Structure 1
Amino acid sequence: MLEGLPPNGATHVMRVDAPEHEARAIAEFLGETFDPAEVATAAFEVEDRAEGSGWAVEVYFGEAPDEDGVRELIALVSPQAAAAAVFLLLDKKDWVSASLEGLAPVAIGRFVVHGSHDRGRLAPGQIGIEIEAALAFGTGHHGTTKGCLAAIVAYGKQRRPGRTLDIGTGTGVLAMAAARLFHAPVLASDIDKVAVTTAQANAVANHAAPHIRFLHAPGLGAGEFVRQGPYDLILANILLPPLKAIARPLSRLLAPGGTVVLSGLLPSHANAALAAYRAQGLRLKRRRTIEGWTTLELAADRGRNATPAGTR
């Protein structure tokens, strides 16, 4: 999932409620201003049982931010929001719990990402993915995750993949979605050991574990990626710098005619990612932007050679 939070210890959080258009603008502006390796930004809809739905922005800092400086940046978009911004120091487990409270279930196609409090609200035919507080980022409420889920739904309307690869799995939402929809093997990797542990537990709780193999690995250098491939569907919801860095090895893991889904991209970064993968012979199938984040779907020609799979 979207990377950018410190792997251990406390997290500094800025939160502000704002109308939808302001929340999206604030999140995109701050996301472009700060180093994505140090700061993660999200705009999302929240449900207040008493007052209905609204929008909020949360920004997670690895170190204590300059609060006045952050407010000055927010004021460039909305002076009212700048005055209402609050800064908190939370244990990482606590901020995930807090972020889940009041979040409405996310419905994308047949998928519904929800907390345990909404378990009984699923309609017949929906595929529920239950995510609770954890030590990994990715609850399904971020625009990047929504874009990837929409891409999985679109892919499933055309074909069923033989094998799927989920790079930067986070809480495992995308891996579980692919496993639950396709009932086919999924390899899910993450650079963070905590994320892998969390994703494994989530897969068990969501009855998706039999189809998913989890791997703790930085980049794509581990031999397991080749041994389990090639892949008909590859999901990479990370950020622009690592997406560009893995363009060549990722493309070599793709089966002929396969699809790559890239996310974690601001709209202004999408063309740079696209250029890196076009250089590897992939073509753009679809571009979608949700809540200020862009997801790209790319395809390989059926006659294109992939890295041969090893012993399975």
Structure 2
Amino acid sequence: MLEGLPPNDATHVMRVAAPRREAQRIADLISETFDPAEVAVANFERTDAEWVVEVYAGAAFDAERLQEMVEIAAGPELAAGVTFGDVEQKDWVAASLEGLAPVKVGPFVVHGAHDRGRVPGHCIGIEIEAALAFGTGHHGTTQGCLCAIVDAARRGRPARVLDVGTGTGVLAIAAARQFHTRVVGSDIDAVAVRTARANARANQAPGILMVHAAGAGARTLGEKGPYDLILANILLPPLKRLARPLRRLLAPGGRIVLSGLLSAQVPAALAAYRSQGLRLVSQRHMEGWATLTLAADAGRPR
């Protein structure tokens, strides 16, 4: 999950402020138009009445095209407020970790190296160092997925786990430490994969296989499946595209956890996965973000 941070090689940014509904339309249109490996979209609240859409890329934007897209989604007045700029080159995760306290979710404590001594002995400490990848545990989507892993542990131990869009590897590491089972993590970003591998080694979870892959159709992912638990903490547009391939990777009786969704995006995500025969088991909302658990054999949603 992007967690509002720009991609590793971002050099250009577009910004526009808008009311929440219009901001969501702008973000959705741009996300669905561009390749997520090349363009990242963040949509966040600035005040109660105003949201900001930021679009990051490693190459210069076609300013006229983007302004036209904003106009289509939200009207000419908001399109006139679009601005373009350069991205300051810095380690975004290092900056985001400054001053952040450890995050505790169930038995997990996600922390940086500077807080290693603050992890209680009865907890599962997951140390995520500052690096050019995404997933520090402080975002509502990551916390929601960690809660879903805790929920899955109450049902038993999955034989195989897949973490799509692994980022720093925090969810794959949590699953490996919790279940002591086979875990595969994948990401479209080669830097994220290298970071996740280093984090897995540092957290004494060397059995995790980290794969550099676009989407869920990579041969390696299919060969290592099917999976009893699939985690996908990304964004709505790629989650919708992944509905069919993830369903194919799911073992009978398995469950899929989706996050990276604003609460308002839940119906759109559910529609994509219900069309693949999956049903909602539970949903959790944290800080305006939703985490969904789905299964092919689910009963009535609660």
Tell whether the structures are fold-level matches, with TM greater than 0.5. Answer: yes
* Residues 1:41 and 1:134: Cα distance change in structure 2 (over 3 Å): farther
- Distance in 2 (CA, whole Å) between partners of 1:134 and 1:60 is 21
How far the C-alpha of 1:5 sits from its partner, in A, is: 2.6
Distance 1:297 1:91, change over 3 A: same
- Provide the C-alpha distance between the structure 2 equivalents of 1:130 and 1:151, rounded to a whole number of angstroms: 20
Contact 1:161 1:184 in 2 (8 A): yes
Select the structure with the greater relative contact order (CA < 8 A; seq sep ≥ 6). 1
Distance 2:213 2:234 in 1: 14
**1:87-141 CA-partner distances (Å, limit 9, x unpaired):** 9953241x22111011111110000111111110111210011111111121111
1:40 equivalenced with 2:42 (yes/no): yes
Unaligned runs of 5+ in 1: 15-25, 44-56, 67-86, 303-312
Contact 1:13 1:89 in 2 (8 A): no
User: For the aligned residues, what is the CA RMSD?
Assistant: 3.0
Residue 7 of structure 1 deviates from its aligned partner by: 3.5
167-176 vs 137-146, greater mean Cα deviation = 137-146
8 Å CA contact retained: 1:288, 1:294: yes
Where 2:172 maps in the other structure, the secondary structure is helix
One of 151, 156, 160 as aligned partner of 2:157 = 160
Corresponding residue SS for 1:134: coil
State the Cα distance separating 1:62 from its structure 2 match: 1.6
Measured in 2, the distance between the counterparts of 1:11 and 1:126 equals 41
User: Map of 1:253-292 to 2, 5 A cutoff?
Assistant: 253-292=249-288
1:184 match: 181
- Is 1:299 the counterpart of 2:274 in the alignment? no
TM-score by length of 2: 0.77
Amino acid at match of 2:166: T
Q: Which runs of 4+ in 1 moved over 4 A?
A: 9-14, 26-33, 57-61, 63-66
Instruction: Spell out the pairing of 1:70-109 with structure 2 (5 A cutoff).
Output: 89-93=87-91, 95-109=92-106
**One-letter identity of the residue aligned with 1:285:** V
Q: Structure 2 CA distance, aligned partners of 1:254 and 1:28?
A: 34
Aligned to 1:97, what secondary structure does the other structure show?
helix
- 1:169 aligns with one of 166, 179, 182: 166
- In percent, how many aligned pairs have the same letter? 59
Change (3 A) 1:178 1:28: farther
Counterpart residue type for residue 265 of structure 1:
L
Pairs within 5 Å for 1:88-237: 89-93=87-91, 95-210=92-207, 212-237=208-233
Distance 1:28 1:97 in 2: 32
1:247 partner amino acid: A
Q: In the TM superposition, what are the counterparts of 1:233-252 in structure 2 within 5 Å?
A: 233-252=229-248
Partner SS, residue 153 of structure 1: helix
List runs of 5+ in structure 2 lacking aligned partners.
32-38, 46-50, 64-84
Query: Could you tell me which residue of structure 2 aligns to residue 8 of structure 1?
Result: 9
Aligned length: 258
Q: Distance in 1 between matches of 2:194 and 2:268?
A: 32
Preserved contact between residue 171 and residue 196 of structure 1 (Cα < 8 Å):
yes
CA pair 105-13 structure 1, distance change in 2 beyond 3 A: farther
Give the 3-state SS of the residue equivalent to 1:38 in structure 2: strand
Assess if the C-alpha contact under 8 Å between 1:191 and 1:219 holds in 2.
yes
TM-score (norm. length: structure 1): 0.74
